[in-house]
Structure 1
Amino acid sequence: MNEVTMAGEGTSERSRSPWWERLPEDFWLQADGTWLDAVHPLKIHGTGALERVMRTSLATTVATAMLASLKGKGRIQEEFDALRFYEPLARVGDASKVFLPPSADLAVEARPLPGDDIRRFQLSFASPFEPLNPYARPQFEAMQRNRVAHAQHWCHGDRPRPTLVVIHGFAADPHWLNAHALGLKGFYRRGYDILLFTYPHHGRRAESGSWFSGQGLFGRGLVSFNEAPMHAIHDLRVFIDYLQRRGVERIGATGISLGGYTAALLAAVDPRLAYCIPVVPAVSPIDVFLEWQPTGLLLSLLMRQQGVGVAEMRGLLAVHNPLTYASPLDGRRMLIIGGAGDRVTMPRHLRLLQRHWPGSALHWFPGNHILHLGRREYLERMGELMERCSPTP
């Protein structure tokens, strides 16, 4: 099992530098593994091999969307110039300067939905989020669907109940998919309310003409990619305000992949969370993109053209990275869940996050990013943490 270490760790100069400069340049190339590899070799290496094939399809989709967004004379240079706006903010490491609190009086519309034995509501509001970078504002103002926030609320309705906020992954917004993956009906029957958040550029928020749900996340340029997590955090905090106005006292967050990354970021921004459970989160996006192909080829080409190294590129996107900020949440209220055979977000990414959250727990299952073998065990661990930090009446 490879244990990731920060380059130069132990020196006073390095200890003051940000994480993206201390992380080894070749982090994305390092060997990886977990203790489960020896226990379940067929499951780990078999699911890992399958996922390497699937990963190429995903990477091709991302690269195609990204390349289309950078067409036009001078567009690449313009995007990189605009990206440099964010690095000084990330270097300060003060989340309050980046994630500005939403207005406290925003009205959230709740519309009842037909269904089975679960009482469901469709929540929505017109998001007043404004991009931090002035360069991104004209493009954002031209959007229509993405500026309306959506969530589905599973609400018992008898009294305020502890609520689990669920954030989906890239292009994986269907509520039924996340409900199945995370056993949400079981948690609802145990007494929890559930709020399933729709990420910007996905589902009902995808702009007309999008090739697929989530295309706008990568298909509107690098600056827009930086703003999307900040938009997500803003809208999540509005929904948390809504829950608290209804009397909910304990709120936790979980999510898969991009959703896990965002849940971890929310734990760095909002002290109201009772617990945080990121599942297979991608912790250093630049290293993920470099390892994937053909995104690695495209990103490497863009970086060479602009004279940007790996560490600098990480810094340009670090403004929304959970590693950039200290979390107000006690590490004992954090559970990170990862697949030992995950080849979309390699195990070393999860170890980075665990080291950033002292006292947090890390649970491995013998599967990959999509195929979660041993899901029952990690759902049990989720339930134990939720009951400890946010017990049902």
Structure 2
Amino acid sequence: MKGAVCIVTPYARPEVNPTLVNLAEALAARFYRVDILGPDGDMRVSLPDGLTGIVAEHGPCNPMAPSPSGLRGRLVRRLRRTRRPRQLCASGYKAIIGVDPRGLEMAHRLNTHARLPLVYLSFEIMFDDELTPAERPLRAAERAACRDVQLTLVQDAGRAILLAEQTGLPREDMVLVPNAPLRTPLRETRWLRSRLGIPDERRIVLYAGSPSSWAGLHLWQDMLATWPEEFLLVVHCRSGLGPRMDAHLGRLTESGRLLLSHGPVPPEVLPQVFASADFGFAPYMATPDDWTSGKNITHIGFSSGKVGWYALCGLPILASALPVFSREFTRYGCGRIYEQACETGRLLTEMDRDYAFHSQESQRFYDERLDPAPGLAAFCDRLEALLAQEAA
């Protein structure tokens, strides 16, 4: 065992982020333990392959024997309340990693006494001209932490430039890693059809994630009205949406063009979920609701995990006209973009007529632009070099 790293995330379910899963796997393969500290103060030793693991009430978290592939190491998982940040950061960790501004702020505070190498994983970018007075302290905390950051992960060159402009982080200390799943064997699957009773003649258009304003939810009713009968929007949510949203979507299901799939699935099942669809839906649009939903959405680039899954599974993608899709879909025939919701039915029909071509192009899009493996290896190399330098 070379040591351990601590990832501090503001999100309750880090396993839904492809990059966090990929990084845990990659570091486990290099014989690092990866502890993930969540927003509620609980710590868990990452379990990147989705196995149940062994719950340890006391004692250190030690790795079990790795799986034969050497990639998906099986790690003992422990959940406990963490009450002593100083001891947390001083107990054998080689580095502390903060996820997005809130995670970085917490990691920076925890690192006050340990002075470990500080690393930043950026998936959401704050833009100064959009921030409210209540949000500016977070921006100030992020910038203060960035003065101590030694290595940063971001998804693509465009987002790296924007992140550097907004935080002062040096571009040369950034490594580009698209937020997409690692390549995995895919097999024919009927997961969604079996779960929801969808007949073979319906074409499944999958939206993976929670419906929201930045997904153009207010446009869905008019959009679905333009869809030919054979196309069905399936919304797969990892958790319940609440009574108000359930009621709204329930009204949309009455059209016969929308179905809901609720509940989290184990990471090893995710490929079956995505691969059982026919098309992927990426309806991003900027809204003023939150600092994460404005320019951060406009410049989403390669930070969309759902688009990474769509492309890996060869799903033709129906996407809104964000800059990244307008640019990449010109180079790759992986999908179609729309300016108006009323265009979507026609675009689905056109893609379906040449489905094999668009599916192959979607896989080429993944192979040439979204495959995270090269960037992930480069990031881990840089991290190991940084830790070696600190140890010297």
Q: TM range, normalised to the smaller chain?
A: 0.3 to 0.5
With a CA cutoff of 8 Å and minimum separation of 6, indicate the structure with the bigger relative contact order: 1
Q: Which has the higher strand share?
A: 2
Q: Which has the higher helix share?
A: 1
| TM-score normalized by the length of structure 1 | 0.34
Of the two, which has the highest radius of gyration?
A: 2
